[in-house]
Amino acid sequence: MEHPENDELYKGLKVNKGVANVSSVSPYLKRGLRRREYTPSEYVEGILRGDITILSQAVTLVESMKREHQQLAQEIIEKSLPYAGKSVRIGITGVPGAGKSTSIDAFGMHLMHEGRKLAVLAIDPSSERSKGSILGDKTRMEDLSREKNAFIRPSPAAGSLGGVARKTRETIVLCEAAGFDTIFVETVGVGQSETAVHSMVDFFLLIQLAGTGDELQGIKRGIMEMADGIVINKADGDNMEKARLAASQFRNALHLFPPADSGWTPQVLTYSGYYRTGIREIWKMIGDYVSFTKQNGYFAYKRNEQSKYWMYESIHDTLKEAFYHNPSVAGMLEETEKQVLKNEISSFVAAKRMIDLFLSTSGVKPIH
- Residues near ligand GDP (CB under 6 A): 4-5, 12, 94, 96-102, 233-234, 236, 272-274
In total, the chain counts a number of residues equal to 368
User: What are residue 120's DSSP bridge partners?
Assistant: 152, 184
Nearest CB to ligand GDP, comparing residues 61 and 152: 152
Question: Which of 4/50 has CB closer to ligand GDP?
Answer: 4
- 329: helix, strand or coil: helix
Cα–Cα distance, 319 to 304 (Å, whole number): 23
Distance in angstroms (rounded) separating the CA atoms of residues 166 and 321: 14
Least distance in angstroms from the C-beta of 27 to ligand GDP? 34
Instruction: Give the list of residues 6+ apart from residue 62 with CB closer than 8 angstroms, or none.
Output: 73, 77, 156, 167, 170, 171, 174
Task: Provide the minimum distance between the beta carbon of 334 and ligand GDP in the complex, in angstroms, as a whole number.
Answer: 42
Q: Work out the number of other CB atoms within 10 angstroms of the CB of residue 321.
A: 11
Residue 114 Cβ, how far from ligand GDP at the closest point, in Å? 21
In whole angstroms, how close is the CB of 269 to ligand GDP at the nearest point?
Answer: 13
Q: What is the dihedral of CA 97, 98, 103, 104, to 10 degrees?
A: -70
Nearer to ligand GDP, 149 or 272 (CB): 272
The DSSP annotation for 124-176 comes to -SSSGGGGT-HHHHHHHTTTGGG-TTEEE-PPPPS--HHHHHHHHHHHHHHHH
Q: Could you give the CA distance from residue 57 to residue 360 in angstroms, rounded to a whole number?
A: 39
276 vs 302 by CB, closer to ligand GDP: 276
Q: Is 186 helix (H, G, I), strand (E, B) or coil?
A: strand
Nearer to ligand GDP, 91 or 99 (CB): 99
- Nearer Cβ to ligand GDP (202/236): 236
How near is the Cβ of 110 to ligand GDP at its closest, in Å? Answer: 14
Nearest-approach distance from CB 14 to ligand GDP, in angstroms: 12
CB of 222 to ligand GDP, least distance (A): 20
How far apart are the two ends of the chain, measured CA to CA in Å? 73
- For 179, how many CA atoms within 13 A lie in the half-sphere containing its CB? 14
The residues, ordered by sequence, that sit 6+ positions from 135 with a Cβ below 8 Å of its Cβ are none
CB 145 to ligand GDP: min, Å: 14
Of 5 and 37, CB closest to ligand GDP: 5
Give the list of residues 6+ apart from residue 68 with CB closer than 8 angstroms, or none.
none
Q: With DSSP H G I counted as helix, E B as strand and the rest as coil, what are the percentages for the chain, rounded to 5?
A: 55, 10, 35
Q: CB 148 → ligand GDP: shortest distance, Å? A: 23
Nearer residue to ligand GDP within complex by CB, 72 or 188: 188
Q: How far apart are CA 150 and CA 144, in angstroms?
A: 6
For ligand GDP, the closer of residues 264 and 275 by Cβ is: 275
- Other Cβ atoms closer than 10 A to 58: 28
